[in-house]
Structure 1
Amino acid sequence: MSAVSLHVSPGRCLYDDPLQLQVRGLSPGQDVSLHTALSDEGGQLFTSVGRYRADSSGELDVSRSPALEGGSYTGVEPEGPLWSLEPQTPLRRLLKKDVRSPFQLRFSLHQDHPPGALLAAAVQERSFLGEGVTRVPVREGRVRGSLFLPPGIGPFPAIIDLYGTGGGLMEHRASLLANHGFLTMALAYFDYEDLPKSLGGLHLDYFREALEFLRCHPKVNKERIGVIGISKGADLGLNMAALLPGIKAAVSVSGCSANSFAPLPCGKFVIPCLGFSAEKIKFTEAGEMDFSESMDDPLDPANQEALIPVERSPAAFLILSGSDDRNWPSATYSDQLVARLRKHQKDVEFHCYPGAGHLLEPPYFPLCKVSHHKLLGMPMLWGGQTVAHAKAQEDAWKKIQTFFSKHLKGTNMTSHL
C-alpha cells in the first residue's frame, strides 16, 4: 500500500469558505476515522469524529463520500467535520473574540479497526479578515466598537452589526461581512469599556450617534446603510430602522416583535419593554434555564406601546428565525413582524428554519444548544437540532449576503473580494 495522504485545501481560507478534504493511498474499502480538533482562545478543545470507508480506488472525498454511523455526523456532509464540533468542557460556546488571528483546525486520519493508529494529519487555518480588510477600533464620542473596512478607496455600502444580551463586543460576523464588500461596524452597547454595565443604560441617542458616525465616514456611501442584529440586537436594529433616518435595509435574526428587557428612551418618549413572568421560567434536571415560554405576549393590548413601530420605516426587511428556538418564540415573533410589515405594504422577506435554534451564526460554527449566560450567571437553553441548524446557518448566510447586496449594492451577485 502506498503512503496515506490527507489533503485539506486551501491551507488558509476564510471561516465561511467550504471545506475541501481528500484522502488518498488507502486500501480499497478500508475503514478509517477522521478526527477534527480546534482550540478556542481560552484553550478549550472542540472535537468531532467522522467514520468513513475508502472507495474502490482507496480514496475518499468528504464532498462525495458518506460518513458512516457511529461518528459525529452521517451521510455526505462536506462541512460535517466543522459544524459537528463539540466542546470537551460542558456549556462552552465557540466564539472568536480576536478576529485578527485565525482558528487552527487540526485533522488526523486514523485506522478504524482496530482504532487509533495514525495514518495521516493536516492543518488548516480559517481566518476572519480577508486580504486587504482592515480593523479599526472605534472610540468616537460615546460610541464604542470596531470598523471593518474592505480593500479599496470606496465609498462602500455599510452595515451596523449588533449582538445580544451577552454584552461586550462581538466581531466575527462583522469581519466576515467585510470580506464580502461591506464596510461593517461591530457595535457594542453595554458591558464594554466605559459603556453602561447593564441593559438599563440604553438610549436611542447612542445608536443615533453610531449611525451618524458611520454616515460621516469618508469611505461610507451614506445612502446605502443597513443594520443586522441577533436576539436583543435584532430588536435594537429594528428600532433603529423604525426611528432613525438613513437605514435602507434591516436583518433580524432570532429577534422579537417588541422592545425587550429594557425600556428604550427616545428623546421625548420612551418605548417600554415587553415583560416576562418569572413563574413561567422552567429548569431542566441539569439546572439549565428554559426561558422559551416566559415572555409576555406582544399582541396583548397591554403591550401595544412596546411593539417596535416597523411600519414607520422605509427600509427593506429580512426576518430569520428557527422553529426550535428555546430562548424565546422567535418564529412567532417573526410571524407577527411580517404580518404587520405586509399589512403596511413594506418590502419584507421571511424565512423560518425547521429545527434551527436561537443562535443562528455564520456557517460552520457548531450548534450551541446550551451555554453559560454571562448576564444571568447560569446555563441558558438556546435550542436547535445539529444537522438542521447547520443547514439553516448556511442558507441564512447566503440570504443575508443576497439581501444586503440587493438593497445596499444594487446587485444580486455575492462573492469574496
Structure 2
Amino acid sequence: MPRMLLLQRAVTLLALRRAMSSGVQLQVSPQRCLYDETLQLQVSGLSPGQDITLRTELTDEGGQLFSSMGRYRAGGSGELDLSQSPALEGGTFTGIETEGPLWSLETRDPLRRLLKKDVLIPFQLRFSLHREPSGALLASSTQERGFMGEGVTREPVREGRVRATLFLPPGPGPFPGVIEVQGTGGGLLEYKASLLASKGFATLALAYYNFEDLPKQMEDLQLEYFEEAVDYMLQHPKVKGPGIGLLGHSKGGDLVLSMASFLKGITATAVVNGSVANVVTALHYKDITLPPIGYDLRKVTFPVPGVGDIRDIYLNVLEEPNRESLIPVGKADCKFLFIVAGDDRNWDSRFHAQTACKLLEEQGKDKPEVVYYAKAGHYIEPPYFPLCKASMHKAAGFPVTWGGEPKAHSVAQVDSWQKIQAFFHRQLNQQSSANKL
C-alpha cells in the first residue's frame, strides 16, 4: 500500500479517535428511511455557545459529490437540535431549517441534476460536525435514504409493447393505480413511482423511448402505446378500478393530458409543470395527429453564458395555425390537479394550466384544482431533492436554466408531494366506493 495512502488513513483514524474522545455525540434519526421523510438531527456534548459547522455529503450514482454546510452555535447546555436551532449566516442555508442539509445540497458541476436510477440501492448521507474555526472533526454519522418502503415489490413489465416497472404496496390489495410518465430525458426512471407505492399506490413507471427495444429517439409517438399501459393497469388483479390515475411532469404532463383526453379508464390526472400544447414531436392516435407546437429559437436568451432561457420560445397555441397542437382537454372525463411553478423557465406553466381550465369550463366540466408556487422552478421533485438550477435539455440540445429559488422550491416540493398523494387517494378511493353503491 502506498505510503501516502497509509498516511491519509492514519490521519483519518486520528481525527475519528479525537472526535470520539471529545464526548460530542451527533445523532441522526432514523438511520434508514425513505428519501421523502423528514430529517431529525441532534447534537449533545458541546460547550455552551460553541460555534460549529455541520457538513452533509451525498455521492450520486455517477460519483458526483453533493454537499451542504450549516453554521451553528450550541445552546446553553451544549446542545443542538435542527428543529429548534437556527443556522447562522455563511452556510448553504440559514434559520431554523430541519431539512436544510438536504435541500441545500450543491455540486461543483453547475449542470448536474441529482437523479436516482437504481431504486434498490439507497443514497448514503454522511453528516459530520466540525469545530470552528479550526475545522477539527468532532463527531460524524450516516443515514440511508431509500426509495422503496418495507414490503414494496418491484415487477418489470414487458407486456406487448409496454416497457415499464410496476411497484406494488405490501398486502393483498387491490390498490389505487397510477401511471407515472417522465419528461424528455428518456429511459426508465423509477424513483417517483417507487415512493408512491410506498404511500399505498400501485404505480407503473412507464418508459416511452430510449429504453430496451423502444425507439431510441422521441419521434412520432403513438398514443396506442400508452393505451396498452392503461389497459394493463385496468386488468391487473391488484389494481383497484374502475379507473386509474396519471401523473406527468414536463413532456410527461402533455402526454398524460392527451391520455386523459382520448383514452378511457382515466379517473384522475395530476400535471406538474406541463403543457396544454403537444410539444417536441407529433402524437398520433387512430386517424388523429397532434403536431408539435412551433418555436422561435431567436427568443432564447442567455442570462448565464452558455446556458439558455427558453421560456418564451414556443408559439401561442391559442393562435392559428398553432391550435392544431392544442390538446382537446375538454373531452376528458376525469378530475385534474395542476401543479404550477411561477418561475418555470422551461415554459409558462401558469398559462398552460389556465388554458386547460378554460377548455374544461367551455365543456361544462368540473373546475380543476390548481396549486401555484410563485418562486418554484421547473423540476418539482419529491421532497428534499436539491434544486436543479440548470442542466442539458435533451430536446433543445443545449444547457438551459430551469428557474426557482432553493428554499421556496423546497417548500413547493414538500407541499405538492402531499397534495398529489391526497388528490389520488381522494379521487381513486372515492371512485371505488361509488362503484360499490
Which residue number in structure 1 is paired with residue 299 of structure 2?
280
Q: 1:347-392 deviations in whole A, cap 9, x for unaligned?
A: 4100110110000000000000101234444212111111110100
Which residue number in structure 2 is paired with residue 11 of structure 1?
31
Q: Give yes or no for the alignment of 1:250 onto 2:269.
A: yes
Which residue number in structure 1 is paired with residue 287 of structure 2?
268
Following superposition, the deviation at residue 115 of structure 1 comes to 3.4
The answer as to whether partners of 1:148 and 1:174 remain within 8 angstroms in 2 is yes
The answer as to whether partners of 2:246 and 2:270 remain within 8 angstroms in 1 is yes
The answer as to whether partners of 2:58 and 2:124 remain within 8 angstroms in 1 is yes
- Residue pairs, 1:59-208, within 5 angstroms: 59-112=79-132, 114-208=133-227
The answer as to whether partners of 1:342 and 1:348 remain within 8 angstroms in 2 is no
The answer as to whether partners of 1:94 and 1:365 remain within 8 angstroms in 2 is yes
| Matching residue within 370, 379, 382 for 1:359 | 379
Cα distance in 2 between the residues matched to 1:248 and 1:361: 23
Which residue number in structure 2 is paired with residue 27 of structure 1?
47
Would the alpha carbon gap of residues 376 and 192 (structure 1) be closer, same or farther in structure 2, given more than 3 Å must change? farther
Cα distance in 2 between the residues matched to 1:38 and 1:2: 26
Secondary structure (helix, strand or coil) at the match of 2:266 reads coil
- Percent identity (aligned): 55
Which residue number in structure 2 is paired with residue 370 of structure 1?
390
Following superposition, the deviation at residue 191 of structure 1 comes to 1.2
Secondary structure (helix, strand or coil) at the match of 2:28 reads strand
Cα distance in 1 between the residues matched to 2:356 and 2:278: 12
Q: 1:52-88 deviations in whole A, cap 9, x for unaligned?
A: 1111111111111111111000111110100000113
Would the alpha carbon gap of residues 192 and 77 (structure 1) be closer, same or farther in structure 2, given more than 3 Å must change? same
The answer as to whether partners of 1:372 and 1:380 remain within 8 angstroms in 2 is yes
Q: State which drifts further: 291-300 or 303-312.
A: 303-312
| Matching residue within 424, 434, 437 for 1:404 | 424
Secondary structure (helix, strand or coil) at the match of 2:229 reads helix
Cα distance in 1 between the residues matched to 2:361 and 2:419: 19
Secondary structure (helix, strand or coil) at the match of 1:87 reads coil
The answer as to whether partners of 1:83 and 1:366 remain within 8 angstroms in 2 is yes
Following superposition, the deviation at residue 289 of structure 1 comes to 1.9
The answer as to whether partners of 2:220 and 2:282 remain within 8 angstroms in 1 is no
Cα distance in 1 between the residues matched to 2:302 and 2:213: 34
Which residue number in structure 2 is paired with residue 414 of structure 1?
none
Give the TM-score normalised by the residue count of structure 2.
Answer: 0.91
The answer as to whether partners of 1:23 and 1:59 remain within 8 angstroms in 2 is yes
Secondary structure (helix, strand or coil) at the match of 2:408 reads helix
Following superposition, the deviation at residue 245 of structure 1 comes to 0.3
Structure 1: any 5+ residue segments left out of the alignment?
412-417
Following superposition, the deviation at residue 30 of structure 1 comes to 0.9
Cα distance in 2 between the residues matched to 1:401 and 1:208: 23
| Matching residue within 342, 345, 349 for 2:369 | 349
Secondary structure (helix, strand or coil) at the match of 1:410 reads helix
Cα distance in 2 between the residues matched to 1:20 and 1:339: 44
Which residue number in structure 2 is paired with residue 239 of structure 1?
258
Cα distance in 1 between the residues matched to 2:140 and 2:71: 15
Cα distance in 2 between the residues matched to 1:390 and 1:76: 14
Cα distance in 2 between the residues matched to 1:138 and 1:62: 42
Secondary structure (helix, strand or coil) at the match of 1:199 reads coil
Greater radius of gyration (CA): 2
Q: State which drifts further: 212-221 or 74-83.
A: 212-221
The answer as to whether partners of 1:144 and 1:188 remain within 8 angstroms in 2 is yes
Letter in 2 for 1:210: A
Would the alpha carbon gap of residues 285 and 78 (structure 1) be closer, same or farther in structure 2, given more than 3 Å must change? closer
| Matching residue within 33, 38, 62 for 1:42 | 62
Letter in 1 for 2:108: Q
Cα distance in 2 between the residues matched to 1:77 and 1:339: 39
Aligned length: 410
Following superposition, the deviation at residue 286 of structure 1 comes to 2.1
Give the TM-score normalised by the residue count of structure 1.
Answer: 0.96
Secondary structure (helix, strand or coil) at the match of 2:379 reads coil
Letter in 1 for 2:220: G
Would the alpha carbon gap of residues 295 and 375 (structure 1) be closer, same or farther in structure 2, given more than 3 Å must change? closer
